[in-house]
Amino acid sequence: MSAVDVTTRNNVTVLGREDGPAVVLAHGFGCDQNLWRLVVPALAERFRVVLFDHVGSGRSDSSAWSAGRYSTLDGYAEDVLEICSALDLRDVVLVGHSVSAMIAVLAANREPDRFAKLVLLTPSPCYVDDGDYRGGFSRDDIDELLESLDSNYLGWSATMAPVIMGNPDRPELGGELTDSFCRTDPMIAGVFARATFLSDNRADLPKVATPTLVVQTAQDAIASQEVGRFVHEQIAGSELVTLDATGHCPQLSAPEATAAAIIGFAGAR
Amino acid sequence: MCQADDAGGAGEGRDEDRVGAMFSALLEDSAEDLYENAPCGYLSTLMDGTIAKINGTLLGWLGIGREELVGRRRFSDLLTVGGRMYYETHIGPMLTMHGEAGGLALELKAADGTRLPVMATSRVKTGADGSAQLIRITLFDARDRRAYERELLRARQESEADRDRARQLASTLQRTLLPPSLMTVPGMEVAAYYHPASVDEVGGDFYDLFPLTGDSWGFFLGDVSGKGAEAAVVTSLARYTLRSAAVYNPEPVKVLDNLNTVLQQQYRGGEIRFCTVVYGCLVPDDTGCAITLVSGGHPPAIVVRADGTTQFLHTHGGMLVGAIPDARFTEITAHLGPGDTLLLYSDGLTEARPVGGSSERYSEEELLDHLAASAAHGASEVIASLTELLTGFGDGVEDDTALLALSIPLPRDGDS
């Protein structure tokens, strides 16, 4: 795949200081690169900031999506590596939110030389409880999530399908595209949700050799503090920061503190 | 006039007063009562989701007291776990970044454990300085709608499954109409390619290569009018008729006569079904093989000679097979020497539009030139070159396309 193909496929945006160290921001399940909007200005002052949409999310090229490649997190990790290679990025600071924290771990384990540091924002290596491990959810809970994605299927397909399909006969749908923020084809979302919430990447954590910062919030319904501590303990030499913030998306609920944590870790020698 | 007008005006004024008084009596506590007892659930939350205000309708649905919720619980706590995950990962971020989220299908968990499907619409209320202050959420009872949607979803899943089954059936049927692999003809190289125009329908092209008596072989390639199940019936009939007719009398003209009669009898009185076919018979000789070809309305076969020159093998006057009784077919003969290739093809190739949507169709002459220029030698190379050409046409290939090539290999170095 050519560099242009990769940047189009993943709707890659590059901004900030051209001579700055590269910081790649990877969004999680349920949204797109817009999620970083509030932390980007602070990061762009010091770094070369690279944003992208996972295939199937945001304004990525959904024709590049295939169930085969994107049914496991490996496909997404492969994309991250292809983006870094296409832009010829070195000593990358890779910031992964939510499921992208594990995608970042997989990418860094595959090409350790490419990455200088990892920032794992509200990570969870495994959402489903397993013996003594408390991921926070039962298998039934995950099935329920997949069901709620399905029940949002009809409402979506009626209005969004022609837009995503790129229907030139219906230009009036162009307006809808601006409202497509965080919208995604529920079928694709369902596959991404399965990959997100049913993956178990606990065994990948001890293999991380890249300096890592784990950032969690005080109250997170998706990735508990216990899970954040687990990630920290499994990655040797990692640092753990608990932000005085609530929710699963600190880049939205506490953008200053989140940006400060990333800058403090990424900028340190 | 003026007086009457005045009187009338005063009368209207009194009516308005009466109606107004009646409405205000009905709506005495308007805003507050409308909020509390609206036919939908209302709630307002802080930006982190903590419930700040909730109406009586929603409390009634949930069976939970106001004091248990306000300031103590978040909106996502009222949802099923799946809904909560959806809220935390999708709806919440969307509200923060976009200011609104609508058309959301969620399920509330009531105190008694029952679940209430709702449709939610939410919008962020901003202060005078533009900063986000509250999230306002309206919930509609969606029990009936959800049941209806489930039916729709089930119907959709069923139709997707049906479509898969139909495709499966089409591809299975297609395979029965084509030889699973070409038979090996001693001293010859053979290759074929089939490109169905649609995965949903059985194509109307067919070909085969099979042994006749002695060391002679029969082969054919044809195209049935139309496509789908109706055409598949004719394809099947044509294929098996050609093979059995060739056993009975291998003379090529007789084989097509036979097929013409069978199609005429089969569709007598009904809609005429016909096909175009090239049927041939080859007999190996000392220098290659002798070929007899007969064509019924089919594009002319092409010979690619060992030196790269190309030529049509026209069978002038051959009529469509099955269209009229006593159709006439003419026969020609040719000889293939070492390095020569005979190509049969269907009009899916020569009627393709090389540039998608273009009105210019590819032509038999362009095909002849392509083969001369391609330097492809032998059956496999010729088929490979044409497969590549078809792939390049992309969506421009509108019809099924069948290709069959036969060649006499050049003697290898060291062969006597």
- Report the CATH number at residue B123: 3.30.450.20
Supply the pLDDT for residue A61.
87
Contact at CB, B146 and A146, closer than 8 angstroms: no
Please compute the mean of the pLDDT values over residues B371-398 and round it to a whole number.
88
With beta carbons less than 8 A apart as the criterion, state whether A103 and A76 touch: yes
End-to-end CA distance of chain B: 126
Above 70 in pLDDT, residue B10? no
3-state secondary structure of B188: coil
Q: In chain A, whose CA is at the least distance from the CA of B97?
A: A35
Structural domains of chain A ordered from first start: 3-125+201-267 (3.40.50.1820)
Rounded to a whole number of angstroms, the distance from the CA of A160 to the nearest CA of chain B is: 12
3-state secondary structure of B191: strand
In this prediction, what percent of chain B has a pLDDT beyond 90?
46
Same domain as B193, residue B115: no
With beta carbons less than 8 A apart as the criterion, state whether B400 and B329 touch: no
Q: How many residues does chain B have?
A: 416
**Residue ranges of E strands in chain A:** 13-16, 22-26, 48-52, 92-97, 115-121, 212-219, 239-246
Give the sign of the dihedral formed by CA B307, CA B312, CA B314, CA B320.
Answer: positive
Please compute the mean of the pLDDT values over residues B232-254 and round it to a whole number.
91
- What is the domain count for chain B? 2
Rounded to whole angstroms, the Cα distance separating A146 from A193 reads 7
B300 lies in a domain? yes
Rounded to whole angstroms, the Cα distance separating B270 from B280 reads 30
Amino acid, res. A197: F
B235 lies in a domain? yes
Rounded to whole angstroms, the Cα distance separating A121 from B117 reads 33
Contact at CB, A181 and B98, closer than 8 angstroms: yes
Q: What is the CATH number of the domain that holds B339?
A: 3.60.40.10
Above 90 in pLDDT, residue B4? no
With beta carbons less than 8 A apart as the criterion, state whether B194 and B387 touch: no
Supply the pLDDT for residue B282.
94
Same domain as B236, residue B129: no
With beta carbons less than 8 A apart as the criterion, state whether B396 and B356 touch: yes
Contact at CB, B86 and A253, closer than 8 angstroms: no
Supply the pLDDT for residue B12.
60
State yes or no: is A220 an active-site residue.
yes
Q: What is the DSSP letter of A12?
A: -
Kindly state whether B46 is in contact with chain A, defined as any CB-CB distance less than 8 angstroms: no
Supply the pLDDT for residue A178.
37
Domain span including residue B364: 178-407
pLDDT bracket for residue B1 (50, 70, 90): very low
Burial zone of B391 (CB within 10 Å; 0-12 exposed, 13-18 middle, 19+ buried): exposed
Supply the pLDDT for residue B356.
55
**Cβ of A131: how many Cβ atoms within 10 Å?**
5
Catalytic residue among A62, A98, A124, A238: A98
3-state secondary structure of A195: helix
Same domain as B186, residue B134: no
Kindly state whether A247 is in contact with chain B, defined as any CB-CB distance less than 8 angstroms: yes
B9 lies in a domain? no
State yes or no: is A140 an active-site residue.
no
Kindly state whether B357 is in contact with chain A, defined as any CB-CB distance less than 8 angstroms: no
**Cβ of A93: how many Cβ atoms within 10 Å?**
25
Above 90 in pLDDT, residue B19? no
Please compute the mean of the pLDDT values over residues B42-66 and round it to a whole number.
95
Rounded to whole angstroms, the Cα distance separating B379 from B387 reads 12
Kindly state whether B149 is in contact with chain A, defined as any CB-CB distance less than 8 angstroms: yes
Kindly state whether A122 is in contact with chain B, defined as any CB-CB distance less than 8 angstroms: no
Rounded to whole angstroms, the Cα distance separating B187 from A77 reads 53
Q: Which residues on chain B are in Cβ contact (under 8 Å) with A39?
A: none
Q: Mean of the per-residue pLDDT values for chain B?
A: 87
Contact at CB, A153 and B153, closer than 8 angstroms: yes
B3 lies in a domain? no
B6 lies in a domain? no
Name the domain boundary from B141, B159, B191. Answer: B141
Name the domain boundary from B93, B126, B141. Answer: B141
A103, A223, B277 from A237: Cα distances, Å: 20, 21, 76
In which residue are the tokens 């089919």 written? B298
Same domain as B199, residue B121: no
Q: Which residues on chain A are in Cβ contact (under 8 Å) with B151?
A: none
Same domain as B267, residue B184: yes
Same domain as B192, residue B99: no
Kindly state whether B59 is in contact with chain A, defined as any CB-CB distance less than 8 angstroms: no
B1 lies in a domain? no
Amino acid, res. B9: G
Supply the pLDDT for residue A155.
43
Above 80 in pLDDT, residue B273? yes
Same domain as B213, residue B113: no
Please compute the mean of the pLDDT values over residues B168-186 and round it to a whole number.
83
State yes or no: is A98 an active-site residue.
yes
Please compute the mean of the pLDDT values over residues B3-17 and round it to a whole number.
57
Name the domain boundary from B141, B164, B188. Answer: B141
Same domain as B352, residue B233: yes
Same domain as B209, residue B99: no
CB neighbour list of residue B183: distance below 8 Å, 6 or more residues apart: B190, B209, B210, B211
- What does the pLDDT profile of chain A (269 residues) look like in tens digits? 777 789 999 999 999 999 999 999 999 988 889 889 999 999 999 999 999 999 988 888 888 898 889 999 999 999 999 999 999 999 999 999 999 999 999 999 999 999 999 999 999 999 999 999 999 999 988 888 777 777 665 444 433 333 333 333 434 433 333 344 566 677 788 888 889 999 999 999 999 999 999 999 998 889 999 999 999 999 999 999 999 988 899 998 899 999 999 999 998 75
Dihedral Cα B5, B9, B11, B12, nearest 10 deg: 130
Q: Which residues on chain A are in Cβ contact (under 8 Å) with B80?
A: 144, 148
Angle between helices A186-198 and A139-151 (to 10 degrees): 170
The ipTM is: 0.79
B69 lies in a domain? yes
Above 90 in pLDDT, residue B303? yes
Same domain as B331, residue B247: yes
Rounded to whole angstroms, the Cα distance separating A49 from B391 reads 40
In this prediction, what percent of chain B has a pLDDT beyond 70?
94
Rounded to whole angstroms, the Cα distance separating B254 from B274 reads 17
B201 lies in a domain? yes
| Tokens describing residue B258 | 């036979």
Same domain as B392, residue B271: yes
